[in-house]
Amino acid sequence: MKKKSLCFQVTLTTALILFLCAALLTFFSSYHAGRQFVAVAAKISTVQPTGSESEPGPGGDITFSVPTESITSVARRQFNLAGIGAMFAIAALGTGLVYLTTRRALSPIHEFSQTVSAITENDLDIHLQESAGSSSEAELLHHSFNTMMERLERSFSAQKLFAENAAHELKNPLATIIATAQVSRLSPPSPAEYMHVLSSIEANAKRMQGTLEGLLRLCGGQAEFETGEVRLEDLFANILREAGPRMREMNVSACVDCSALPAVSGNYELLYRAFYNLIENAVKYNRPGGEIRITSRALGGRGEIVISDSGYGIEPGALPRIFEPFYRAGAQRSRKTEGSGLGLSIVKSIIERHGWDISAESAPGQGTSFTISLFL
């Protein structure tokens, strides 16, 4: 059975209420008027013993015998008919006005339903047009719907870009591996060339592995994890030990001073990965002979960990996007640079999972500074 529209239901309910109220009003009015007719008729009538006409009285007045029951009966019937007619007229007029008002008031919902039905996964740029004279509720509905569609469009665009970048990052090393294998098949390599081929295949396979691991870390962003006390001096000492070969290769030194904030509460493995990525970036994009500074400070109930370098810096226009997956800023951070382009995205995901905040400050030629803010 097809459901009735909201406009029909509201109109029907209002019509029943109007008819009921009008009927009650007509009944009470008729009852009260009948009593008034009887009282008035009793005052203006004179009852004579016989005949319908009498002789003049002592004062010269002539009295008549008036049939009061006939007068009140006719008057009451006429009043009832007029009352019932007025009742139906008022109820019908009220019902029509309610229908028109309800239909006008619900027109934004009808428009909203039609707009939603027209939305497809390939067409998310549909927006409701705010009409003049619409109610505040309708304007709020339009605004909320348009805001939701804008967010969905941005989210789908970001996911599409993310998928395209992921495919690109996996396609390039895979194409290199295939090309290397095909060339080796056409021209059997010498032992030295064979080792070079294996090294190339291994390097590209590790690049693909790093990209896949980064994607898995980003996708697992909502998983629960255990927390405990993490001593920052020990954490950074282990990270710098692992990054030591690359630092010596780049001739980059590190200075660590976390005395103001010796320990934090968090997951050691996740924090290790986050801070390792920051330090790896500080080494990778630093100048030969540059420096990395790792400091901490306590500010009342909050703490800060700052990792800064003396590298090439980031252009102001690129700074807001550095935490986006696969984004690389500037010539020094091109696709030719080693890495999956997911490092800072993973850092932001881990930091936010701990309930902390991360921000970046940079200027071209003056290095970059990352600040992690946390509650103590």
Q: Rounded to whole angstroms, how far apart are CA atoms 119 and 115?
A: 7
Beta pairing, strands 291-299 & 253-257: parallel
* Pair of tokens at residue 348: 């932001």
Least confident of 47-56, 94-103, 276-285, 310-319: 47-56
Q: pLDDT (tens digit, 9 = 90+) per residue, 86-134?
A: 777 777 787 778 777 777 767 767 777 777 776 766 666 666 666 555 5
Mean pLDDT over 8-30 rounds to 75
Q: Is 277 exposed, middle or buried (0-12, 13-18, 19+ CB in 10 A)?
A: buried
Q: Out of 151-155, 271-275, 280-284, 353-357, pick the least confident.
A: 151-155
What is the rounded average pLDDT for all residues in the chain? 76
Share of the chain above pLDDT 90, in %: 16
Which tens digits make up the pLDDT trace of 317-337?
A: 888 888 887 777 654 444 445
- Structure tokens belonging to residue 248: 């010596």
pLDDT value, residue 253: 94
pLDDT at 372: 95
* CATH level 2 (architecture), domain 228-375: 2-Layer Sandwich (3.30)
CB 268 within 8 A of CB 225: no
| Domain 136-219, classified CATH 2.30.29, yes or no | no
More confident residue, 178 or 120: 178
Q: Which of 66-75, 114-123, 152-161 has the lowest mean pLDDT?
A: 66-75
**φ/ψ (deg, to 5) at 230:** -120, 115
- The pTM for the full model equals 0.54
Cα-trace Rg, the chain:
44
Over 90: is that where the pLDDT of 160 sits?
A: no
Q: How far apart, in whole angstroms, are the C-alpha atoms of residue 345 and residue 17?
A: 62
Question: How high is the pLDDT of residue 335?
Answer: 44
**Mean pLDDT across 60-73:** 55
Whole-number Å distance between alpha carbons of 143 and 119: 17
361 Rama class: left (phi>0) / alpha (psi -120 to 50) / beta: beta
Q: How far apart are CA 26 and CA 49, in angstroms?
A: 38
Compute the CA torsion angle 141, 143, 149, 152 (nearest 10 deg): -100
Q: Which residues contact 265 (CB under 8 A, 6 or more apart)?
A: 227, 228, 229, 230
What pLDDT was estimated at residue 291?
94
Locate 212 and state its tokens: 């896949």
- Residue 52, pLDDT above cutoff 50: no
Q: How would residue 23 be classed by pLDDT, with cut points 50, 70 and 90? A: confident
Percent of the chain with pLDDT over 70: 67
* Residue 186 banded pLDDT, cuts 50, 70, 90: confident
CA angle 286, 288, 289 (to 5 degrees): 100
First to last CA, the chain: 61
From 203, 202, 162, select the one nearest 325 (Cα to Cα). Answer: 162
9 pLDDT more than 70: yes
Identify the pLDDT of residue 282. Answer: 93
pLDDT, residue 237, reads: 93
Determine the pLDDT at residue 63: 53
Strand partners, 293: 255, 308
- The mean per-residue pLDDT over the stretch 355-359 comes to 93
